[in-house]
Amino acid sequence: MFATREELQRRLIKLEANMPWLVKEYPDKAHFYPEFSSYADEITGKASPEDVEWATSELSRILIKFGVVDDFAP
């Protein structure tokens, strides 16, 4: 059963709130990405096919916001 967009949004908000801790706890990107990916996979794994692209876009936005990756938009 897929999560509703509202449920996904709550998970994304929680992940975004935890980003300062994650960035501080895992300053080496080689350690950060596996940790972040576990949260991201939990979110996208519960998304419907219609919401996967939206959730992935939100995850990218969070990474950019916290300076983990540069804005890679063309």
- Nearest Cα to Cα of residue 15 among 52, 41, 45: 41
Q: What is the pTM of this model?
A: 0.90
Report the C-alpha gap between 18 and 39 in whole angstroms: 11
* pLDDT of 16 strictly over 60: yes
For the chain, how many structural domains are there in total? Answer: 1
Q: Is residue 71 in a domain?
A: no
- In tens, the pLDDT along 19-47 reads 999 999 999 989 999 999 999 999 999 99
- Nearest Cα to Cα of residue 56 among 23, 46, 66: 46
Structure tokens at 69: 């990756």
Residue 46 CB contacts under 8 Å (≥ 6 apart), including other chains: 2, 3, 7, 8, 11
- In which domain, by residue range, is 26 found? 5-65
Report the C-alpha gap between 41 and 48 in whole angstroms: 13
